[in-house]
Amino acid sequence: MDKKQQNNTHVSWFRQSAPYIHAHRGRTFVILFGGEAVEHSGFPHLINDIALLGSLGVRIVLVHGARPQIKQQLDTLNIQSAFSDNMRVTLNEHMPAVEQAVGQVRMRIESQLSMGLPNTPMAGASVRVVSGNFVTARPYGIHNGVDFCQTGNVRKIDTEAINQHLENSNVVLISPIGYSSTGEIFNLRAEDVATETAIALNADKLIFVMENNGVTGNDGELLQQLNLPEAQAWLKKHGSEEQENQETQSHLNNAARACRGGVRRVHLISRQVDGALLLELYTRDGTGTLVTAENYEGLRMATIEDIGGIMELISPLEEQGLLVKRSREQLELDIYNFTVIERDGMIIACAALFTFAEEEAAELACLAVHHDYQEHGRGDDLMQHIEWQARKKHMKKLFTLTTQTMHWFLERGFVECAADDLPIEKKSLYNYQRNSKVFCKPLH
């Protein structure tokens, strides 16, 4: 690649990131990574990326784990600690090792965030990190006869203090440790701390930087997006599996909990992918699994602001003759008939409903899904939504005109009918040259 091409690629990449930069500014993201990440040679890259998010105006709360470091400390002291329900039983005499390990990890992170040598990505970053007694804990207690001693649960998150620090553009760093009103120290699961913090802060995103490759489907393919019922179905199916999926199960469980608690988006990204955080947040499709609280990702009625986005989506399809040409003026008039699916500020699908009261018939028009997002059921989602709207308006049948998508409609309960069957107003506009086929579906 020559210099000019390199410049073009750079400029075009930067421009494509611009909408995400605008969208994420001022938002609160809670990011969790395990103690394994801190040990890895790629850790400075992750820290650079986190510092960059801060420079781009993201309010950052970091939660770190320290499992391998605690294990190492205990090993050094020749202490074997027991596990039950995948949780460490922390005896009183283990606590000095836990405190030492967690303290060391926290200092390592702080030191990395303090770097600022010239000619490094951290040059000029000057990140201010704050840690503190933000997490109140209580004992996890006795389960099935096992006393977990100093292993604890999150009781309360001091959101006011955290928010104050975020307001001052500080990065808040939280360790998997909690304090109680009795003055005790508890060993907590970092995933729980991150999840409870995200819920308490009403964070815009909770991001789990995972050790494995993400949530995969039956054939080992990465699942890019799951809504809450899908995440729950995955957990039901894989819940009984042993070790292999344990991290994914635990993170997905927490993701579902966060969604139920009001966090709109939870990302599970792999630490194995260099720059996964930036790819996930500043490109359209990311590299990990997004768990969303919504059933229909971004499906909503259109507004006048969507006209540009809809035109961008449908213009190429109009050129190909798949859709009838619509002028901007016409779109402006019809915009409130449109339903759209928006993803990260881009309109990726649309459809419109027009009703003919006299004939109690409704038209499904301008159904389009952006090429990159087809074959994931979005066409179906839109059609079902339009059908639902038509039913709500007491329409008796739904019809559509198509030139190249006949089978798609046939497979969804439509049958071919004659142009003569169209409502009078529509018939008068029927374009015989276009020679579209008419498909109808009764609405019971």
Ligand X SMILES: CC(C)(COP(=O)(O)OP(=O)(O)OC[C@H]1O[C@@H](n2cnc3c(N)ncnc32)[C@H](O)[C@@H]1OP(=O)(O)O)[C@@H](O)C(=O)NCCC(=O)NCCS
Q: Output 87 or 346, the one with its CB closest to ligand X.
A: 346
Spatial CA neighbour of 173 closest among 316, 311, 48, 30: 30
User: Site residues for ligand X, window 377-436 (CB under 6 A)?
Assistant: 377-380, 400, 402, 404-405, 407-408
Strand partners, 442: 397
Per-residue binding letters, 33-72, with ligand X (x by CB under 6 A): ----------------------------------------
User: Residues in the chain, how many?
Assistant: 444
Query: 105: phi > 0 → left, psi -120 to 50 → alpha, else beta; which?
Result: alpha
4 in contact with ligand X (CB under 6 A): no
Q: Output 46 or 313, the one with its CB closest to ligand X.
A: 313
CB of 413 to ligand X, least distance (A): 13
CB of 361 to ligand X, least distance (A): 16
CB of 251 to ligand X, least distance (A): 28
Per-residue binding letters, 204-223, with ligand X (x by CB under 6 A): --------------------
Q: Is 400 helix (H, G, I), strand (E, B) or coil?
A: strand
User: Site residues for ligand X, window 301-320 (CB under 6 A)?
Assistant: 317
270 in contact with ligand X (CB under 6 A): no
Instruction: Return the axis-axis angle of helices 190-201 and 246-260, rounded to nearest 10°.
Output: 20
CB of 374 to ligand X, least distance (A): 3
CB of 348 to ligand X, least distance (A): 9
Residue showing tokens 């499904």: 364
332 in contact with ligand X (CB under 6 A): no
**Among residues 369, 395, 422, 438, the one that binds ligand X under rule CB under 6 A:** 369
283 in contact with ligand X (CB under 6 A): no
Q: Output 356 or 373, the one with its CB closest to ligand X.
A: 373
Q: Output 305 or 411, the one with its CB closest to ligand X.
A: 411
CB of 383 to ligand X, least distance (A): 8
Which H or E element spans position 174? strand 171-174
What letters, b where the CB count within 10 A reaches 16 and e where it falls short, cover 217-229? eeeeeebebbbbe
322 in contact with ligand X (CB under 6 A): yes
Q: Output 249 or 402, the one with its CB closest to ligand X.
A: 402
CB of 19 to ligand X, least distance (A): 22
Burial class of 408 by CB neighbour count within 10 A (0 to 12, 13 to 18, 19+): middle
**Among residues 376, 393, 396, 427, the one that binds ligand X under rule CB under 6 A:** 376
The whole-angstrom separation of Cα 4 and Cα 1 is 8
- 8 Å CB contact between 116 and 47: no
The pair of structure tokens assigned to 138 is 């209580």
Residues whose CB falls within 8 Å of the CB of residue 429, separated by 6 or more in sequence, listed in order = none
Residue showing tokens 């729980």: 192
The whole-angstrom separation of Cα 130 and Cα 165 is 8
Region near ligand X per CB under 6 A, out of 14-22, 147-155, 376-384, 389-397: 376-384
Q: How far is CA 110 from CA 36, 106, 130, 281, 302, in A?
A: 16, 6, 9, 23, 46
Q: Output 138 or 343, the one with its CB closest to ligand X.
A: 343
Spatial CA neighbour of 151 closest among 69, 104, 103, 91: 91
**Among residues 66, 367, 398, 440, the one that binds ligand X under rule CB under 6 A:** 367
Which H or E element spans position 312? helix 307-319
- 8 Å CB contact between 254 and 192: yes
Q: If binding means CB under 6 A, how many residues of this protein chain bind ligand X?
A: 19
List the alpha helices (DSSP H) in 320-365: 328-334
Which H or E element spans position 82? none
Q: Output 137 or 349, the one with its CB closest to ligand X.
A: 349
Region near ligand X per CB under 6 A, out of 39-47, 298-306, 340-348, 373-381: 373-381
Region near ligand X per CB under 6 A, out of 105-113, 237-245, 340-348, 368-376: 368-376
By Cβ distance, which residue is nearest to ligand X?
Answer: 379
Phi, psi for 37 (deg, rounded to 5): -60, -35
The whole-angstrom separation of Cα 32 and Cα 1 is 37
Per-residue binding letters, 222-261, with ligand X (x by CB under 6 A): ----------------------------------------
Binding site for ligand X (CB under 6 A): 317, 322-323, 367-369, 374-380, 400, 402, 404-405, 407-408
